């Protein structure tokens, strides 16, 4: 799945995986740093509407990481895990578990950084504990999007009660 | 699109043989015999894959009792693709921010290298 002007590719090679692939115009050691250093992670990490508020990284095999994100309408989300493989600047593997996760089990997240002529392809494989978990995650953005647009529609259909109160 | 049908679609698409069958059917309808030909598989094995694809609504079978040709049904595929597109867009912004950050890091690295180069030149001169 490729957008017109964004080179991010998403595919689902098995029933438990989501694979994201993206080319960056920078050498692998910088990309690896951006994926592992908190001061850099806070500047870019986060899906639509979400940004990192706290970021702890203990970058060694068996070390823990923990991200706290702030999202739409003050929502708070905590995800954490343990590093399994650290091979700078080529590979980073960790587990991931959300605090209020609606599907069972840890997800194994593997990032591969492949540099060619000063540019780096990042391939992230998210391997879920179950196929149902994978499908839940895949549906999440659209489910949220639908929820948000329904909220906007509701607001539109009920032009604020406060305004009615303000009329003399 | 119902949740169960979406699960069936993704489950059906998770297998390389089934994806190859769909790719073949994209070129036009075919019988089970015709579908089995390019694969090192028996017709019953192919039929099993076809049943999964039929359950997911990705393939329909013709009424001709003799041939029962298989046909690609594009709609569930389009809908599954829409979920993927939405997931992609959900993350695209994050990677765009990373682009900008990497540009900045590269510029800093280059400046540092130049400064170091200048120092070395100065020392040797």
Handedness of CA A10, A13, A14, A15 (dihedral sign): positive
Task: Find chain B residues with C-beta within 8 A of A139's C-beta.
Answer: 3, 6, 83
Rounded to 5°, the CA angle B71-B73-B75 comes to: 170
pLDDT at residue A25 greater than cutoff 90: yes
At what angle are helices B74-124 and A131-157 packed, to 10 degrees? 100
User: Are B83 and A138 a contacting pair at CB < 8 A?
Assistant: yes
pLDDT at B79: 79
Q: Which residues lie across from A51 on neighbouring strands?
A: A70
Token representation of residue B102: 């990497």
User: Are A13 and B97 a contacting pair at CB < 8 A?
Assistant: no
Lowest mean pLDDT among A65-69, A84-88, A160-164, B101-105: A160-164
The answer to whether B95 faces chain A, any CB pair under 8 Å, is yes
pLDDT at residue A8 greater than cutoff 70: yes
DSSP 3-state assignment of A40? helix
pLDDT at residue A81 greater than cutoff 70: yes
Among A10, A11, A31, the residue with its CB nearest the CB of B102 is A31
* C-alpha to C-alpha distances, A154 to A75, A148, A157, A167, nearest whole angstrom: 20, 10, 5, 21
Indicate the pTM of the whole model. 0.73
The answer to whether A20 faces chain B, any CB pair under 8 Å, is yes
The answer to whether A14 faces chain B, any CB pair under 8 Å, is yes
Are residues A77 and A71 in contact, defined by beta-carbon separation less than 8 angstroms? yes
Lowest mean pLDDT among A111-120, B4-13, B92-101: B4-13
The answer to whether A73 faces chain B, any CB pair under 8 Å, is no
pLDDT at B7: 75
Task: Find chain A residues with C-beta within 8 A of B14's C-beta.
Answer: 12-15, 131
Chain mean pLDDT for chain A: 85
Rounded mean pLDDT of B113-125? 73
ipTM: 0.79
State how far the Cα of A5 lies from the Cα of B97, in Å rounded to an integer: 15
pLDDT at A147: 52
Burial A84-109 (b: 16+ CB within 10 A, else e): eebeebeebbbbbebeeeebeebbbb
Q: Which residues lie across from A18 on neighbouring strands?
A: A126
Confidence of residue A168 (pLDDT cuts 50, 70, 90): very low
| Length of chain B measured in residues | 125
State how far the Cα of A115 lies from the Cα of B113, in Å rounded to an integer: 20
Confidence of residue A157 (pLDDT cuts 50, 70, 90): low
State how far the Cα of B89 lies from the Cα of A1, in Å rounded to an integer: 10
């Amino acid at each position: 799945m490729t957008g017109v002007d964004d080179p991010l590719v998403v595919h689902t090679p098995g029933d438990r995986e989501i694979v994201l692939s993206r080319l960056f115009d920078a050498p692998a050691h910088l990309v690896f740093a951006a994926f592992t250093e908190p001061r850099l992670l806070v500047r870019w990490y986060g899906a639509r509407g979400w940004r990192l508020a706290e970021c702890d990284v203990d970058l060694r095999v068996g070390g823990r990481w923990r991200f706290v994100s702030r999202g739409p309408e003050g929502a708070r989300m905590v995800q954490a895990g343990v590093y399994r493989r650290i091979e700078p600047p080529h590979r980073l593997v960790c587990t991931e578990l959300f605090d209020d996760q609606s599907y069972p089990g840890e997800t194994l997240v593997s990032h591969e950084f492949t540099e060619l002529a000063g540019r780096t392809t990042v391939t992230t494989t998210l391997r879920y504990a179950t196929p149902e978990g994978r499908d839940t995650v895949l549906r999440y953005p659209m489910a949220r999007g639908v929820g948000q647009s329904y909220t906007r529609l509701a607001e539109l259909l009920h032009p604020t009660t406060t305004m009615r109160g303000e009329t003399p | 699109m119902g949740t169960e049908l979406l699960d069936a679609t993704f489950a059906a698409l998770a297998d390389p043989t089934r994806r190859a069958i769909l790719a073949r059917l994209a070129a036009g309808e075919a019988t089970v015999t015709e579908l089995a030909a390019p694969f090192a598989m028996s017709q019953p094995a192919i039929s099993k894959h076809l049943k999964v694809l039929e359950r997911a609504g990705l393939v329909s079978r013709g009424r001709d009792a003799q041939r029962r040709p298989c046909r690609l049904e594009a709609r569930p595929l389009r809908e599954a693709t829409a979920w993927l597109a939405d997931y992609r867009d959900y993350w695209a912004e994050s990677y765009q921010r990373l682009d900008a950050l990497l540009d900045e890091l590269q510029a800093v690295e280059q400046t540092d290298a130049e400064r170091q180069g200048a120092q070395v030149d100065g020392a040797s001169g």
